[in-house]
A and B are shown apart, each in its own frame.
Chain A
Amino acid sequence: MNLKNLKAKNYIWAIISFLIIIMPFIVSVSRLKILGKSLALGIVALGVDLSWGYTGLLSLGQGIFFTLGGYAIAMYLQLNSSIGLPNFFSLYDVKSLPFFWEPFRSTYFTFFAIWLIPGLLAFLLGYLVFRNRIKGVYFSILTQAALLVFYNGINSQQKLINGTNGLPTPNTKLFGYLVGDPTTQKFFFYITAILLLLSYLFCKWLVSKRFGRILIAIRDDEARVRFSGYNPVVYKTIIFTVAGILAGISGALFTVQADLISPQYLLPPFSIEMVIWVAVGGRGTLIGAVFGAFFVRLFASLVSSAVPGAWLFIQGGLFILVVTVLPQGIVGWMNENGPKTLLIDISLKLDNFEKNFKLLPLPLKNLIKFLVKKSLTFSKKSITYPKLDHAGKEEVEL
C-alpha cells in the first residue's frame, strides 16, 4: 500500500468519526435510532464474519445469541422500572416472578449476563458439535434447528416471558433515566459506536496474529491443519464463542434502541440475513462486515418504505449475486482492483463490438481506443480469493 492510499484512508476515517460525533445533533431521534441499530448490527456482523468469513463456519443460529443478549437487558429494565411484577404478568394471572427472572434484578449480574450467557451457550454448543466433527452444512442445519428450538421455546411461553409480544423497553428506566427519552437514545448511539469500534479493534487484533492465519487455514483445509498438529476444535470453539459474545452485546444494544425484543428475531430469515450483510460487504474483511451490515440495513429500510415487497426480490437477488459473480463482496472486489478490471472488461468488449460492427460515432471510438490503451498498461489481476469449501466429495465403498 502506498503513501497516497494511506492518506486517503485516514481522511475517510476522520470523516466517519466526525459524522458519528455530530450525527445525534443533526438528525431526528427516530432516524438516529435507525442509524444506531444499524451500527449495533455491525457488531453481530463482525462475529458472523469471524466464524464464516475467516473460519468457514456458517452458523444460521446467530439470532439465538443476539436475542439472548436482548432479552437479558430487557428483563433487567423491566424488573427495575416496575413496582412488583412487570406489567404484562397480570395479563396471564401470574402472581410470583418466575425463578429465572430473579437474578436480573442485579445490575452486575445483567452486565455479565448480556455477553456471558450467549458466550457460554455458544461455547457449549460449539464444543459439542466441533468435538464430534460435525461440520460444513451439517453445522448450519444444526444451528438452524437450535434456532427453532429457541424460537418455539420463547414464543410459546406467554406466562414466563410474554411470548410473541416480546418485552418492550421505551417506558423503562436505566439508572433512573427513561430509555425512550431522546437524550438517553443519544447516549446509546455513542455507546454503540464506541463498542463497535472496540469490537472491531479486538477482531482485527485477533485475526492479525498467527491465530488468524490458522482460522483461514481451517476454512481452506481443516484436515491439513489437524495433520499439522493443531487442534481445530479449540480454534473453532473459541471463534464461535467470540461470535456468540459479540452477538449478545449487539442484541442488547439493538434492543434498547429498537424499543422491543421479540421472538421474531429468532426466525430463520433474520439469522440468514446477517450472512448477506457480510457477504455483500466482503467476507474475510472485517471492515466489509461492518459496512455491509450498516448499508444493507439502511438500503433495506429505504427500499421497503418506497416499494413494499420489492426488498425481498432485491435480497434474493443479492444472495444469488454474491454466490455466483461477486463471492468476494464489495470490499474484496475493491481490494482486488475490481473496478479497474471491470473497466478493462467493458472497454475490451466495446472494442470488440466496434471492430465487428463499426457503427459508433467518432468521439466514442476515440474514447474506447483510449480506454483500451489505458487498460493495457495495468495488467489484469487474477482473482485470488480461495474457494470456501474444497470439493471434498466423500468416496463411498460398498
Chain B
Amino acid sequence: MELFVDILFNGISFGSVYLIAALGLAIVFGLMGVINLAHGELIMVGAYSTFVTQLLFKEPFLKPFFGSYIIVSIFVAFIFSATVGILLERLIIKRLYGNPLETLLGTWGVSLFLQQFVRSFSLSFGTSVIISIISGVSLKNIFPKSIKERFNEKYIRLSNWIIPIFIGILSNNFLATNIPRIRRPDSRLVDVTSPKWMRGPFEIYGESFPKTRLVIIAITVISVIAVLIFLNLTEWGIRIRAVTQNRSMSECLGISTKKVDTITFGIGSGLAGVAGVAVSLLGSVGPDVGQLYIVPCFMVVVLGGVGNILGTVLASFGIGILTDIFASGRLLTLFPNAPSFVFNTLNFFSTSSMAVVLIFSLIVIFLQFKPQGLFPQKGRTVE
C-alpha cells in the first residue's frame, strides 16, 4: 500500500511537471498546429522572470511580503512569456501559417536566438525590453478615444513608442542600480529560492510529501482547470475552438482569425511561463533550461492526441508514473525474486537515462499502432 502511494504520488508529481510544461504546447500545437520549438525558451523566460521577481521581493520595501512572491511571479511569468510569445507570433510565425516544417525551423532559430540573448545581455536589460513592449501596447489602449482614432497617423504612432522606451530606460536604471546581481550579462545559473513555507516535507498520516512538489501539483491543476474553463465557457474560448475546427468557415462568420491566433498563441506562451515558475522551484535556472523539456513536451502532446487537453493530462501522468516505476526500480522491489535474467534487465533500465530510453521507445512503438495518439481527432481528411 505504501509502495502504491509512493508510486502514485511520485508519478503524479513528475507528471505534473510534464503537464504544466506541455499544456501551453498542447494549445499552440494542438489547437493551432504550430510547431513551436521555442516553447522551451518561453519556459526559460518564465523561470528567469521568477528569479527577477524574487530579487525584487528581497528589496526592503517588499521584503515583508517575501513569502507571497511565488504567487506574484506566476502572474509576472505569464505576462512576460505571453509578451515574448505574441511578439514571436506577430513577427515570424504569422508569415508561416500552413507551413509546419518551416515554422519548426524558424522557431528553432528563435530558440537559439533567445538562448544566446540571455547569455549576452543582462537580465535588467531583458526585463526592461519586455516592460517597454508591454507598456507600449497597453498605453495605446489607455489613451482617450480622440487620440486613439488618429493612431494610424505616423507621428502619433511614433510618439506613442517614445514613452514606452523612456519607461524601459527608467526601469533598466532602476533594476540595475537596486539589484546589482542582474546588472551585467551572466551566463551562470541563477538560484530561485522558494519561501520558507514552501520548503521541507508535509506530513499526513505518517506519509511525508515534499511541499514544493505539492505546490507544483496545485499550480498545474489550477492551470488545467483555468484552461478548460476558458476554452469551454468564455466567448474567446469558443471562438478559438471554432477557428480550430474550421478556419475558413469561422472567418466567414465574422471571427477575426488573426486576433484569435494571436490570443491563442499568447495564452499558450503564457502557460509556458507558468511552467517556468514550476521548473525554477525544482532545479536550476540557466540559458538552456528549456532544452531539457522541449522534446518530452512534444512527446506528451503527440501521445495524448493533438488538440485534446484531456489526452495531454492522461499522457503526462502516464509518463510520470512510468518514469517512477522504471527509474526508481519499483519493479525490483515488487518482484525481488524475479529470475536473474529479468532482474538484470530491470536493473539495467533502472536509471533516469535508461528510463527515458525505455519510455521514449515505448511511445515511438505505441504511435506505430495509434499514429493519432490516445485520443485521435475525429474527422475526415484527404487521406
Contact = CB atoms under 8 A, between A and B. Distances in A.
Interface of A: 56, 58, 128-129, 132-134, 136-138, 140-142, 144-146, 148-149, 152-153, 155-156, 223, 268-269, 272, 275-276, 279, 309, 312-313, 315-320, 322-324, 327, 387-398
Contacts of B364: 142, 145-146, 149
Contact of B119 (A136, A145, A309, A392): A309
Given A317-B109, A396-B379, A137 B360 contact: no
B302 A138 contact: yes
B361 interface: yes
A309 B120 contact: yes
B109 A397 contact: no
Contact of A324 (B95, B104, B299, B369): B95
B122 to A, nearest CB: 14
9 contacts: A140-B101, A140-B104, A142-B302, A152-B353, A152-B354, A156-B353, A269-B112, A272-B105, A319-B105
Interface in B211-255: 244-247
Contacts of B246: 395-396
B105 A275 contact: yes
Contact of B383 (A149, A223, A327, A387): A223
Given A223-B382, A323-B102, A324-B95, A152 B356 contact: yes
A332 to B, nearest CB: 15
B138 interface: no
Contacts of A276: 105
A317 to B, nearest CB: 7
Contact of A268 (B109, B295, B360, B378): B295
Given A312-B116, A393-B98, A155 B353 contact: yes
Contacts of A137: 35, 100-101, 104
A320 B110 contact: yes
Nearest to A321: B109
A396 B248 CA distance: 12
- Name the residue in B115, B247, B382 with the highest tally of chain A Cβ atoms < 10 Å from its Cβ: B382
Contacts of A146: 360, 364
A153 B348 CA distance: 11
Given A132-B371, A136-B101, A148-B295, 4 more contacts: A56-B101, A152-B357, A319-B105, A395-B246
A153 B112 CA distance: 26
A385 to B, nearest CB: 12
Interface string B90-118: 00100111111111111011111101100
Given A319-B106, A396-B378, A148 B360 contact: yes
A388 B354 contact: no
A148 B379 contact: no
B368 interface: yes
Closest 3 CB pairs of A and B: A319-B109, A391-B98, A316-B113
Given A132-B368, A144-B298, A312 B112 contact: yes
B6 to A, nearest CB: 24
A264 B104 CA distance: 22
Nearest to A140: B104
Given A144-B298, A397-B379, A398-B245, A324 B106 contact: yes
B33 interface: yes
A128 B115 CA distance: 35
A396 to B, nearest CB: 4
Contacts of B378: 396-398
Contacts of A279: 105
B367 interface: yes
Contacts of B104: 58, 137, 140
A269 B105 CA distance: 11
Contacts of B291: 268
Nearest to B377: A396
